[in-house]
Amino acid sequence: MELSLPLNYAGDPREACDHVAALESAGLDAVWVAEAYGFDSPTLMGYLAARTERMKIGAAILNVYS
């Protein structure tokens, strides 16, 4: 069984990445990143990929029209 959770997109992206890195060391397997109201999820997903080692990163909602 793998454990995952959605990433809260409100707030500072650096704090969110620090939180995800800490959760990875605690055993979390995957995080889902949604895009809403001008929040750029592909950029944050790339930053998460650079800050984590084995974390699976998924796009929960990705608006292709904006």
Note the pLDDT of residue 61: 80
| pTM of structure | 0.82
Report domain extents, the chain: 4-61
How confident is residue 32, by pLDDT bands cut at 50, 70 and 90?
very high
d(CA 57, CA 32): 6
The answer to whether the CB of 13 falls within 8 A of the CB of 47 is yes
* pLDDT, average across residues 49-65: 88
CB 47 within 8 A of CB 18: no
* 55 pLDDT more than 70: yes
More confident residue, 5 or 66: 5
pLDDT tens for residues 16-30?
A: 899 999 999 999 999
What is the spatial distance between Cα 39 and Cα 51, in angstroms, rounded to a whole number? 19
